Amino acid sequence: MHFAIDDTYGPQIPTQSRYVTAERRTHVGIIFSDQEVSFVREQIRNCLNYASELVSCTVKEFHFVDLYNRKAPWDRLPDGGNLLLFEAFCEIYKVYRWPVIISTIDKRTIEDHPKMQSWGIIDGLDCKKAEDLSLLCLCLKLKMLHKERAGSLQIYIDEGRKKPGDQFGYSIFHDWPAPYSGVYASSATEPLLQIADLVAFCINRTTHLQMKSRRTELDNWFLDMIVNMRINSSDLRTMQLTLDFGAAEFDEEHRLDRIEKKLEN
C-alpha cells in the first residue's frame, strides 16, 4: 500500500461560521494499491508532458491552486482552458475513486480532546501545534483502519516542513506488521503526490465556497464538480442544501454531525 499526503489550511479571512476558522489545519491522504502505483505514476507523467505542450514550457508538477487561479504557466492557456484541465483531473479521480483519509485539527478539536496536546513530540511532530497534530492524527487513522489487513506500507509526504528524502513515521508505525518506509518528497519527483494535492485543494476550496454569502456561477460550477467526483472518504459528510445556502445552514450540518459523534448535546 502507498499513502500520499498533502496539507491544506483554513480560510485566511474571517467567516461567519462557528466551526470553520482560520485556525484549521487539515491533512489529506490518498491510498493507492501496490498494483496500480506504476500505472498512476506513468499517467501523471504523461499528463505533465501533455500540459507542457499546451503551455509551450516544461511543467514539472501541477499545483492545482495555481491551475485553478490561472497563475503562471497556466496563464498561457486560452480563457477557460485551465478550468477544462482541472475538470479533466476531477474526471480522472471520479473513475478511480482512490480511498481518501482526512484529518482536521482546530481550536474546537483541542477543546474536545485536550489530552492530545500532552502527547509530546512524536517523529518530529509537536502535538502542541495544530499542523503537526493534524498529520499525526491522519497517520493514526491510517494505522487503525488498515493495520490488521495491510501488507507493506510506503508513505510520501509533500515537502515543505522537511527536505525530500528525509525519513518520517518510524515511531508512529514501529509496530506495523509488514515492511514500512516513509519519506518527505517533492510532487515533481513523486507523481502520487499530485493526486493528494488535487483532493486537498478540492476540499479546501469547497469549504471556502460554502462560507461565502454570495457565490458566483463559477463557484457553483466548482461545487457541482466536486459533488460529482464522489470523493471516496468516510470523513466527508453528504449535505443536501438549497443553492443559496450560507454559513448558518453549513454550521447546522456541522452541529448535527457533532451530535452524532456525541461531541455536542
Which has the higher per-residue pLDDT, 259 or 5?
5
Asked, for residue 100, whether it belongs to a domain, the answer is yes
Give Cα separations from 129 to 44, 138, 221 (angstroms): 33, 14, 35
Q: pLDDT tens, 182-236?
A: 999 999 999 999 999 999 999 999 988 888 878 999 999 999 999 999 999 999 9
CATH number at residue 40: 3.30.420
Percent over 90 (pLDDT), the chain: 72
pLDDT of residue 10: 64
With H, G, I as helix, E, B as strand and everything else as coil, classify residue 177.
coil
Residue 245 covered by a domain: no
Question: What rounded mean pLDDT belongs to the chain?
Answer: 92
The model's pLDDT over 236-259, given as tens digits with 9 standing for 90+, comes to: 988 788 788 878 888 888 888 888
74 is in which domain, residue-wise? Answer: 2-235
Residue 258 lies in a domain: no
Position 29 scores a pLDDT of 98
Query: At residue 261, what is the residue type?
Result: K
Residue 240 lies in a domain: no
Predicted local distance difference test score (pLDDT) of residue 220 = 93
Could you tell me if residue 259 is inside a domain?
no
Is the model's pLDDT at 22 over the cut of 80? no
- Encode pLDDT of 129-164 as tens digits: 999 999 999 999 999 999 887 799 999 999 988 999
Is residue 143 within 8 Å of residue 10, measured between CB atoms? no
User: Domain for residue 256, yes or no?
Assistant: no
CA-to-CA separations, 114 to 119, 130, 136, 164, in angstroms, rounded: 10, 12, 15, 32
d(CA 137, CA 11): 21
So what's the pLDDT on residue 257? Answer: 85
Structural domains of the chain, count: 1
Residue 3 CB partners (closer than 8 Å, separation 6+): 29, 30, 31, 32, 142, 153, 154, 155, 156
